[in-house]
Amino acid sequence: MPLKITVIGTGYLGATHAAAMAELGFEVLGLDIVPEKIEMLGRGEVPLYEPGLEELLRKHVAGLPGSSGRLRFTTSWEEAGAFGDVHFVCVNTPQKHGEYACDMSYVDSAFESLAPHLTRPTLVVGKSTVPVGSAARLAKRLAELAPAGEEAELAWNPEFLREGFAVQDTLHPDRLVVGVASERAESLLREVYATPLAEGSPWVVMDYPTAELVKTAANSFLATKISFINAMAEICEAADGDVVKLAEAIGHDERIGKKFLRAGVGFGGGCLPKDLRAFMARAGELGADQALTFLREIDSINMRRRGHMVELAREAVGGGFLGKRVAVLGATFKPDSDDVRDSPALNVAGQIHLQGGQVTVYDPKGMENARRVFPTLGYAPTALDAARGADVVLHLTEWREFRELDPATLGEVATHRRILDGRNALDPELWRKAGWTYRALGRPRA
Ligand code: UDX
């Protein structure tokens, strides 16, 4: 009998994990406490934009024509407890309001709600990003609350999926990291991940604290890489250098590598910024704050990029935003996502708006979410409409659609042909040839 799997929390991580587990051949039950989400998912609809996810879901949701029927959804903890041999906890751990620390309330309440229904030997697997030390605490709590006692065991299995590539990253992970306390837990997880393991995904087994730390360490390293290249962009601007060439050249060194060296308005999203801060807060609690003080600098370099972009835009429109029209291309924190959480693009748009500029935003997928966060900004249905009458155009999220824009066509509708490339993703020559003043972060003015 194949294992029966539950997935607790059906946000971006949980919905993807649930669909992927069904794709791997398991019977899956997804649980969420928000009934509207469960209804949507039950109809095969995804409450967020993630390439390939809706298709995968429709392939497996029970009751849909032609589906495998292996995936169902519920709001009942009792049903989840009775169903699962393995329970994945995928709820979110946002930043606490007004603090750096991570808000564990969703994780804690998921454990409190599930545990009383665990009456037979089971494995609960934490996937959420949590402060180190949480797993040990939760393992104890689980054994206390579950009728199965110590037979309700815990494992920690951090998730490294990227938005925009979530389905691929879940089905073909570049590594599988598991923090376990027994051989039984390890062998159950090997069964769950048998397919990617057979494809050659590396399997790294460790204790709870190390597994928790792997996730925050990986995100801190990625953030450090981005802020490093953005710091180099600041130096390049001061010294008339070109950060794009610099990144290309240092990237040829295999020890450094080319990836995550794209200078621009910096990182945002639901993970990197809050994970850095939660990591610093946790290090402080552990008396090891000195080890991570450098992350404060990484965070400030990153936030400085947004302010710098606003200054370049101000300069481009002649020193003040009053009465000026600013077109903003991009609202999401990265392309191929509709996520605007802590988005540098939306932050820059908002700052300019609050300083009196008339901002018009266009984004291929993020309009609805952007409108919800920033209802007072102007929104246009296409890039061309956003650029109509603009005194300056800001390119802030590197959607493919923006790289394929025709500078001549855009030039016909803009009042002034001035473009600031906040992602170093457009071709400067192309824009300059069409009569635009092209400027990018960390590059010479030409
Ligand atoms: C990240 C991690 O990559 C993933 O492993 C983890 O599970 C969750 O957090 P994600 O938030 O989807 O994933 O985004 P990512 O692709 O890492 O990009 C983060 C931000 O950095 C984006 O705003 C992106 O635009 C920015 N970025 C990325 C740069 O500014 N320069 C780069 O070179 C790369």
Measured between alpha carbons, how far is 341 from 332 in angstroms, rounded to an integer?
8
Q: Whose CA is nearest to atom 7 of ligand 1?
A: 160
Q: To test ligand 1's pocket by mutation, which of 227, 256, 334 has the most ligand atoms within 8 angstroms of CB?
A: 334
pTM of the complete model: 0.96
Instruction: Give the nearest ligand 1 atom to 166 CA.
Output: 12
CA of 238 to the centre of ligand 1 (A): 26
Describe the chain by its helix, strand, coil percentages, rounded to 5: 45, 15, 40
Check if the beta carbon of residue 443 is closer than 8 Å to that of residue 428: yes
Q: Is the CB of 345 under 6 A from ligand 1?
A: no
pLDDT over 90 at 445, yes or no? no
Pocket lining: 219 vs ligand 1, CB cutoff 6 Å = yes
Whole-angstrom distance, CA of residue 61 vs CA of residue 110: 23
Supply 97's token pair. Answer: 């309001």
Is 261 touching ligand 1 by the criterion CB < 6 Å?
Answer: yes
Q: What angle do CA 276, 280, 286 make, to 5 degrees?
A: 140
**208-446 is classed CATH 3.40.50.720:** yes
Q: How far is the CA of 152 from the centre of ligand 1 (A)?
A: 35
Rounded Cα distance, 4 and 25, in Å: 10
DSSP state letters, 39-80 = HHHHTT--SS--TTHHHHHHHHBTTSTT----EEEES-HHHH
- Ligand 1 proximity of 260 Cβ (cutoff 6 Å): yes
Question: What is the per-residue pLDDT for 88?
Answer: 98
CB-ligand 1 contact for 396 (6 Å cutoff): no
Can you say how many angstroms the Cα of residue 241 is from the centroid of all Cα atoms in its chain? 31
Calculate how far, in angstroms, residue 219's C-alpha sits from the geometric centre of ligand 1.
Answer: 9
Helix or strand holding residue 98 (H, E): none
Q: What is the mean pLDDT of residues 163-167?
A: 95
Indicate the average pLDDT of the chain.
97
Q: Which active-site residues does the annotation give?
A: 271
pLDDT tens profile 310-325 = 999 999 999 999 999 9
231 contacts 301 by C-beta, under 8 angstroms:
yes
> From ligand 1's centre to the CA of 267, what distance in Å?
6
Query: How far apart are alpha carbons 14 and 404 in whole angstroms?
Result: 33
Q: Is 161 in the pocket of ligand 1 (CB under 6 A)?
A: yes
What mean pLDDT is predicted for residues 339-357? 98
* Cβ pair 438, 426 in contact under 8 A: yes
Please determine, for residue 446, whether its predicted confidence score (pLDDT) is greater than 80.
no
| Distance of CA 36 from the midpoint of ligand 1 (Å) | 29
Nearest to 419 by CA among 303, 322, 330: 330
Atom of ligand 1 nearest to the CA of 218: 5
Architecture of domain 4-206: 3-Layer(aba) Sandwich (3.40)
Q: What is the dihedral of CA 46, 50, 51, 54, to 10 degrees?
A: -10
Q: What confidence score (pLDDT) does residue 1 get? A: 81
User: Which ligand 1 atom is at minimum distance from the Cα of 344?
Assistant: 23
pLDDT value at residue 2: 86
Å from CA of 109 to ligand 1 middle: 29
Protein residue with least CA distance to atom 19, ligand 1: 267
Mean pLDDT of 184-212: 98
334 lines ligand 1 (CB under 6 A): yes
Looking from the CA of residue 262, the nearest atom of ligand 1 is 33
* CA dist., res. 30 & res. 80, Å (int): 8
Question: Which ligand 1 atom is the nearest neighbour of the CA of 162?
Answer: 12
Instruction: Please state, in angstroms and rounded to a whole number, the distance separating the CA atoms of residues 389 and 410.
Output: 10
- Pick the closest to residue 413 from 377, 383, 442 (CA basis): 383
Distance of CA 353 to the CA centre of its chain: 26
Mean pLDDT on 13-37: 97
203: amino acid identity, one letter = W
Question: pLDDT band at residue 94, thresholds of 50, 70 and 90?
Answer: very high
Domain with CATH 3.40.50.720 in the chain: 4-206, 208-446
Distance CA(301)–CA(272), nearest Å, equals: 14
Beta bridge partners of 394: 328, 420
pLDDT tens for 375-395 read: 999 999 999 999 999 999 999
Q: CA dist 92 to 14, 20, 130, 410, Å?
A: 9, 18, 9, 40
Average pLDDT estimate for 115-121: 98
Query: What is the average pLDDT across 88-103?
Result: 94
